[in-house]
Amino acid sequence: MSFDVVIFDWDGTLVDSVDHIAASLEQAAGDLGYPRRSREELRHIVGLGMQEALEHLYPGISQREITELREAYAQYFFSRDTTPEDLFSGIDSLLDRLRGEKRRMAVATGKSRPGLDRGLVSSRLGPYFELTRCANETASKPDPLMLRQILDVTGVNASRAVMVGDTIYDMEMARRLGMPAIGVTWGVHSQDQLGAHGPVEIVSDRHALERVLFS
């Protein structure tokens, strides 16, 4: 599968940040007196835009409450920066190999623009990516708008690009656009959950991902 553009999700795919996201949201919600949600429920919404994630966790939540909860969450989440040590094992080597073969790379994420920009710098991954799209400036997954925008900028057909992600939202987003997707099992959702949304491959480690991308 030789793709011209490889599009990566961020949290749970490139960066081992899912538990930190869940813990930060749990602490913020507790501070503001929201009903407790299980860690599994909190992990499940990683990948959605924060607006959509909070509406899913707390049906009927008002916009004012969403703003307050987002601000409280940000204080916990940004209490530490993403570092190169937070990358999943071998991710930097994979990106180096893709860059060495002149593959174009992008990020499509449920993070906000300020959060992603900060992470791109502190993780040192920024130079790998030609362009990035965030949920707060386009549409939350599984709406395929951010993928469509990436294709528009790169001029590549959906069949010549691939979405690599760890959530059902990544898989479904690509499926709706007719774009191949590769599911990775080291993040949020299981192989069975990912498989229900039509990826062309599901991989369990970085070496398997390399075999798919470079076969």
Domain boundary among 48, 77, 106: 77
Query: Is 4 a known active-site residue?
Result: no
Task: Give yes or no: residues 173 and 93 share one domain.
Answer: yes
Q: List CB contacts of 49: < 8 A, sequence separation 6 or more.
A: 110, 112, 135, 136, 139, 140, 141
Q: Which two tokens stand for residue 29?
A: 């919600």
Q: Can you tell me whether residue 132 is helix, strand or coil?
A: strand
pLDDT tens-digit readout, 54-100: 999 999 999 999 999 999 999 999 998 899 999 999 999 999 999 99
- Asked whether the beta carbons of 72 and 31 are under 8 A apart, the reply is yes
CATH number at residue 44: 1.10.150
Task: Label residue 1 by pLDDT band (50, 70, 90).
Answer: low
Select which of 9, 16, 143, 170 is catalytic: 9
Q: Rounded distance, CA 188 to CA 168, Å?
A: 9
pTM: 0.95
Task: Label residue 215 by pLDDT band (50, 70, 90).
Answer: confident
Task: Give yes or no: residues 132 and 206 share one domain.
Answer: yes
Select which of 4, 11, 31, 152 is catalytic: 11
Q: Which domain holds residue 63?
A: 18-77
Task: Label residue 2 by pLDDT band (50, 70, 90).
Answer: confident
Q: Rounded distance, CA 89 to CA 15, Å?
A: 9
**Number of folded domains that form the chain:** 2
pLDDT tens-digit readout, 127-162: 999 999 999 999 999 999 999 999 999 999 999 999
Task: Give yes or no: residues 190 and 116 share one domain.
Answer: yes
Task: Give yes or no: residues 163 and 192 share one domain.
Answer: yes
Query: Is 9 a known active-site residue?
Result: yes
pLDDT attached to residue 195: 97
Task: Give yes or no: residues 104 and 178 share one domain.
Answer: yes
pLDDT tens-digit readout, 8-57: 999 999 999 999 999 999 999 999 999 999 999 999 999 999 999 999 99
pLDDT attached to residue 107: 98
Domain boundary among 42, 77, 112: 77
